Amino acid sequence: MVGVAASPPAAGSEVRRWPVPGPVASAGDPTANWSEARRAVLGVLRDRPRGIPARGIAVLLELSEHRVRQDLEALADQGFARCANALVTWGCDLIEVPLWHIDLTEQCVEALAFLPPRHPRGEVSCPTRVPAEFWAMFWAGSRGSDAVLPRDSFHVACTLLDCPDRAAQTWALRYLPLEVLERCRGLRGFDEGEIARALDGAIALRHQATGA
């Protein structure tokens, strides 16, 4: 769980800094006085270029939504984040949702240089349902809302990996069972080009995560 405040360094100890370009490092760390939670919130925005609701950030970081909103508003005041309503697919409908985005101002780019690098994520368990935002990708009589995972993983993989939505493809590569991805890799249509390279990369990362 992400803490809500950064612990001060012990007397005589050095603050750990990630390697950054000289011109940036010489300007000082703009995140030095931030709490650990605020740094984590900006990290989530960095990893979600399409935007994410405040509640989604709270779930990812295991923090209260109230605390996350406080940090988002502070980041917005400092020019690091912005919020805008957007129409997103939910099931077969479009709904308006306030999404938070990183605001790539000059000071924000400097701050990103001081955030910890992304760490490889370990293997995750397959969810039981397809996210509602991807239901519109299903066709030919199948309904994404009816799919039960992992039972229907192969059908879901074939559908999402072949759809035009990059976010849906990324979700499938990340969360569907490894053996299903390996099975898809041998099928016509998934055996060459960009999708084959994406499958190869995802399969290799998943094996690395499990130590296989």
SS (H, E, C) the chain: CCCCCCCCCCCCCCCCCCCCCHHHHHCCCCCCCCCHHHHHHHHHHHHCCCCECHHHHHHHHCCCHHHHHHHHHHHHHCCCEEEEEEEEEECCEEEEEEEEEECCCHHHHHHHCCCCCCCCCCCCCCCCCCCHHHHHHCCCCCCHHHCCCCCCHHHHHHHHHCCCCHHHHHHHHHHCCHHHHHHHHCCCCCCCHHHHHHHHHHHHHHHHHHCC
Q: For residue range 54-111, list pLDDT tens digits in order.
A: 988 988 888 899 999 999 999 999 999 999 998 877 777 788 889 999 998 888 888 8
Predicted pLDDT of residue 23: 39
Same domain membership, residue 139 and residue 103: no
Same domain membership, residue 104 and residue 137: no
Same domain membership, residue 172 and residue 101: no
Given a cut of 50, whether residue 2 has pLDDT beyond it is no
Query: What's the pTM value of the predicted model, to 2 decimals?
Result: 0.57
Same domain membership, residue 60 and residue 89: yes
Do the domain assignments include residue 185? yes
Do the domain assignments include residue 49? yes
| Percent of all residues in the chain with a pLDDT value above 70, rounded to a whole number | 82
Same domain membership, residue 205 and residue 139: yes
Do the domain assignments include residue 119? no
Q: For residue range 23-36, list pLDDT tens digits in order.
A: 344 357 889 899 99
Given a cut of 90, whether residue 207 has pLDDT beyond it is no
Contacts of 207 by beta carbon, 8 Å cutoff, 6+ apart: 178
Same domain membership, residue 107 and residue 63: yes
- Please give the Cα distance from 135 to 112 (Å, whole number): 34
Predicted pLDDT of residue 16: 42
Same domain membership, residue 89 and residue 39: yes
Among residues 180, 199, 204, 179, the alpha carbon closest in space to that of 189 is found at 199
Higher pLDDT, 6 or 181: 181
Higher pLDDT, 11 or 160: 160
The domain spanning residue 80 has which CATH number? 1.10.10.10
Same domain membership, residue 84 and residue 38: yes
Domain final position from 80, 112, 144: 112
Same domain membership, residue 38 and residue 103: yes
Domain count within the chain: 2
Per-residue confidence band for 193, with pLDDT thresholds at 50, 70 and 90:
very high
Predicted pLDDT of residue 123: 60
Same domain membership, residue 180 and residue 148: yes
Do the domain assignments include residue 54? yes
Determine the structural domain holding residue 148 and report its residue range. 132-210
